[in-house]
Amino acid sequence: MTDDLSDSNLPDSDLPDTNAKPVPLYAQVKQAIIEKIYTGAWKPHDRVPSEAELVKQFNCSRMTANRALRELTAEGFLFRLQGVGSFVSEPKGQSALFEIHSIADEIAARANRHRSKVLKLAEVNANITQAAEFSIAVGAPLYHSIIIHYENDVPVQIEDRYVNVQAAPDYLRQDFRQQTAHDYLSHVAPLTEGEHIVEAVAGDALSCRLLQIEANTPCLLISRRTWSKAFIVSSAKLLFPGHRYKLKGRFNS
């Protein structure tokens, strides 16, 4: 499949900030391809436009097209067959390996005390990446929350979450010190599908300060998307200090 991407809605910047720098052309090409994948227009194993086709559609250099395809391949969106072309990869990191629980319940199961601190709870405008991820228009509203979770007053998780306004219209009215965002969303938009991507990362200066750990301490990052029927409900990045968290799974052969 090699649909023309040139009619994709590509703004001049990732964010709705008029002072932001223009998005480089290679990044615009990448986001146009990602949008086709996220919206389901392109399925796994569909062929994407060749370098020559991208050059023509975006009026860009061969080097720009090559960089976009090369980075998308490195990031796992595409795979390339020598002499044949680039194709959409199979989705990875599906939640079949992990059950999704509330962090408050996990902490309570260890007979410890959970509390949380809300750093941000606001409405924002979707940038091009978020629009593709949620299958909404660029600039459409999303809810954004940043919450720190504590176990016996020790910070164990930064939860950075974007929420579909249609799936949870009253999200901003909730007190997430009393219940977790996970519990609330599970009630108003019951989970039917989930996706996990797990990475080992070095914590940045701000995250390490919030988690009360040394700069560049190894951390575990879980990128999680959840669906309720046809809706993508939320996209969350959950950051844990590596020495305070472990993944546990169980499966049958």
The total of structural domains in the chain comes to 2
| C-alpha pair distances (Å), 68 with each of 26, 30, 55, 65, 208 | 5, 5, 11, 5, 32
> 243 CB contacts (<8 Å, ≥6 apart)?
217, 218
Kindly state whether residue 11 falls inside one of the protein's structural domains: no
In order along the chain (253 residues), what is the average pLDDT of each group of 10 residues? 51 41 82 86 89 93 93 84 82 46 85 94 94 88 97 93 96 95 93 86 91 88 88 93 67 49
Q: Based on the fold, state whether residues 153 and 39 are members of the same structural domain.
A: no
What is the largest distance, in Å, between two alpha-carbon atoms of the chain? 61
Say what the pLDDT of residue 132 is.
85
d(CA 146, CA 119): 5
Residue-number span of the structural domain to which 241 is assigned:
93-248
Q: Based on the fold, state whether residues 121 and 67 are members of the same structural domain.
A: no
Kindly state whether residue 15 falls inside one of the protein's structural domains: no
Say what the pLDDT of residue 217 is.
85
Q: Based on the fold, state whether residues 187 and 206 are members of the same structural domain.
A: yes
- From 36, 66, 88, give the residue that closes a domain: 88
User: For 116-151, how does the pLDDT look when each residue is reduced to its tens digit (9 = 90+)?
Assistant: 999 999 999 999 889 888 888 899 999 999 999 999
The two structure tokens encoding residue 245? 């968290």
Q: Based on the fold, state whether residues 139 and 192 are members of the same structural domain.
A: yes
Q: Based on the fold, state whether residues 83 and 147 are members of the same structural domain.
A: no
Say what the pLDDT of residue 67 is.
93
d(CA 40, CA 22): 27
Q: Based on the fold, state whether residues 224 and 139 are members of the same structural domain.
A: yes
Provide the CATH number for the domain around residue 165. Answer: 3.40.1410.10
Q: Based on the fold, state whether residues 60 and 109 are members of the same structural domain.
A: no
User: For 76-110, how does the pLDDT look when each residue is reduced to its tens digit (9 = 90+)?
Assistant: 788 887 778 899 887 643 333 346 778 998 888 88
Q: Based on the fold, state whether residues 77 and 103 are members of the same structural domain.
A: no
Say what the pLDDT of residue 253 is.
45
Residue 221 CA to its chain's centroid (Å): 11
Q: Based on the fold, state whether residues 111 and 236 are members of the same structural domain.
A: yes
Say what the pLDDT of residue 191 is.
85
Say what the pLDDT of residue 242 is.
82
Kindly state whether residue 146 falls inside one of the protein's structural domains: yes
> 226 CB contacts (<8 Å, ≥6 apart)?
100, 185, 191, 193, 194, 195, 232, 233, 234
Contact 48, 87 (CB under 8 A): yes
Please state whether the predicted TM-score (pTM) of the whole model is above 0.85: no
